[in-house]
Each structure stands twice: as structure tokens, then as C-alpha cells.
């Protein structure tokens, strides 16, 4: 009887260790709503899991919120798109390094009748100035995301401080902001990936693209092992290294929506 109990206890202990080990085989990735809404993670995460055995659990928030999650120790890894903010994050000791992973671009969306005549603008600054001059409805994410930060820089480049009833700060992700723009026949700046994957376009259409200032770089950050030390740094480093490896870069390149490539790998 005693031998049977000992064997049962050992079996439970083995099962417990196995379950514990399995539970540790994941990381929390704080990333952007654009990478989530576009379907990128649904495409590439199974490939990483097959290669490594590691699950990646995504918390899709604005870039500013992603930084905050990492500062609090609530994320093991970051994949975001605010190069200046990423460098400040490193300078402040919260990360030990970053790597370029991929890029796409921002686009300016608006109603097909284009009351601000944005489609004839020569530059992004001219397009934004035209919207402000016409006081045409504009929906802003207003959530301190990478997209929101880029949008605010573009208003500044245009010499405009957006305010008043025409400018709506929503405090929401890219998908909900596009939905609001569609309901209001408003202008909105979007990353191209979310726009291509967006299904509720109604009267919205792409009106302006191609200015170099609309370049949108994504980077992966390795978090500091000192702030805080309890994170799964080894697993996070495997994810980081896979993203910039030949296999990871090819997985990103292979992701398409309606035959259109949405992210372009550029790890160095």
C-alpha cells in the first residue's frame, strides 16, 4: 500500500512538473493593434510555435500602452512602431536593445467625395493642412499609439494644432477608429495593413499615400533583465531572434491579405 501511494505521489509530482513546465512555455507580447487587426499574428505565431515550442500570447494595445505594460513588468517582449519612443525606452534603462523587424506605411483615408480635396495634395503636410482648412471631420485614435504619435507629428509638420468640433479624439484602436470614420464620413490616418484588412469601408476610400514621412517602421525590443528580473527573458530572446532570422522574415513576407503583402521585412 505504501509503495502504491509513493508511486501515485511520484506520478502526481511528475504531472505537476510537466504542467508547470508547459505553463512556463509562453511569453506575453505587448504589441500594436495594427499587427493584431491585420491578421499578421494569426499567420506567423503558429510558425514560431512549431519552430520553438513557445506560445506567444499577444496583448494588442497602442504603443504607449505597450511601453507602460513593459515598464510594469506585465509583458515579456515588445513589438511596436515608434522608433523615437523605443530609443527613449532603451535610454531610460527599460530595454537593452532593439532590432528593425519590418515596415509598411501610413495612408490617409476619407470620404469618396473628398470635401477637403486631399487627393490632389502633393505632400502629407499639404493634405493635413487642407483638412484643417476645410474643418472637415477627422477621427483620431487619440490613444498614444504609434499611429497617434505619428499623426500628431504630421499635424505639427503642417503647422496645425488640431482642435474644435471637427477633430475627434476617440481613445480607441485602429479598427474602432476606422469604424467611427466610416459612420461619420470622416478623414482618418491608418496604417496600411489595418486598412487593407478593414471590412466596413462604407463610403471611405484611400485618398493620399506615398510621402516618405508616412514610413512606418516596426521594432522588437529586448527588455532589461534588471527591470524587472522575473520576466521570461530567455524565451523572449528566442522570439526576438526568430523575428529577425531568415525564417521569421520569410514568414512576415509570406503574410498577405487579398493577395497584397502588408508588411515588408527589413531586419539588418
Three cell numbers written together for 39: 491578421
**Cα–Cα dist 185/114, whole Å:** 9
Give percent of the chain with pLDDT exceeding 90.
Answer: 86
Residue that the C-alpha cell 507629428 belongs to: 153
Q: What is the mean pLDDT of residues 70-77?
A: 95
Element (H, E) at 53: none
The two beta strands, 188-191 and 95-111, are antiparallel
Whether 228 shows a pLDDT value over 80: the answer reads no
**pLDDT band at residue 24 under the 50/70/90 scheme:** low
- Would you give the DSSP letter of residue 187? B
**Model pTM?**
0.85
**pLDDT band at residue 229 under the 50/70/90 scheme:** confident
Element (H, E) at 24: helix 2-24
The CA-atom distances, in angstroms, between 138 and each of 6, 43, 151 are 69, 32, 11
Amino acid at each position: 500500500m505504501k509503495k502504491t501511494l509513493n508511486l501515485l505521489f511520484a506520478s502526481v509530482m511528475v504531472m505537476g512538473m510537466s504542467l508547470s513546465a508547459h505553463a512556463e512555455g509562453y511569453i506575453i507580447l505587448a504589441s500594436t493593434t495594427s499587427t493584431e487587426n491585420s491578421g499578421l499574428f494569426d499567420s506567423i505565431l503558429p510558425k514560431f510555435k512549431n519552430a520553438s515550442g513557445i506560445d506567444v500570447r499577444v496583448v494588442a494595445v497602442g504603443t504607449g500602452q505597450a511601453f507602460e505594460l513593459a515598464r510594469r513588468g506585465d509583458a515579456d517582449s515588445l513589438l511596436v512602431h515608434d522608433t523615437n519612443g523605443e530609443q527613449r525606452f532603451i535610454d531610460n534603462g527599460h530595454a537593452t536593445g532593439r532590432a528593425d523587424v519590418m515596415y509598411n506605411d501610413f495612408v490617409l483615408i476619407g470620404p469618396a467625395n473628398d470635401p477637403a480635396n486631399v487627393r490632389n495634395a502633393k505632400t502629407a503636410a499639404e493634405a493635413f493642412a487642407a483638412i484643417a482648412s476645410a474643418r472637415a471631420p477627422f477621427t483620431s485614435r487619440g490613444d498614444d499609439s504609434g499611429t497617434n504619435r505619428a499623426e500628431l507629428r504630421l499635424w505639427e509638420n503642417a503647422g496645425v494644432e488640431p482642435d474644435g468640433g471637427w477633430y475627434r479624439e476617440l481613445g480607441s484602436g485602429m479598427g474602432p477608429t476606422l469604424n467611427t470614420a466610416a459612420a461619420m464620413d470622416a478623414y482618418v490616418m491608418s496604417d496600411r495593413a489595418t486598412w487593407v484588412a478593414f471590412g466596413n469601408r462604407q463610403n471611405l476610400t484611400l485618398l493620399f499615400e506615398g510621402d516618405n514621412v508616412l514610413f512606418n517602421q516596426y521594432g522588437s525590443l529586448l527588455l532589461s533583465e534588471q527591470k524587472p528580473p522575473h520576466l521570461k527573458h530567455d524565451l523572449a530572446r528566442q522570439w526576438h531572434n526568430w523575428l529577425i532570422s531568415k525564417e521569421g522574415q520569410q514568414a512576415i513576407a509570406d503574410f498577405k491579405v487579398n493577395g497584397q503583402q502588408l508588411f515588408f521585412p527589413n531586419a539588418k
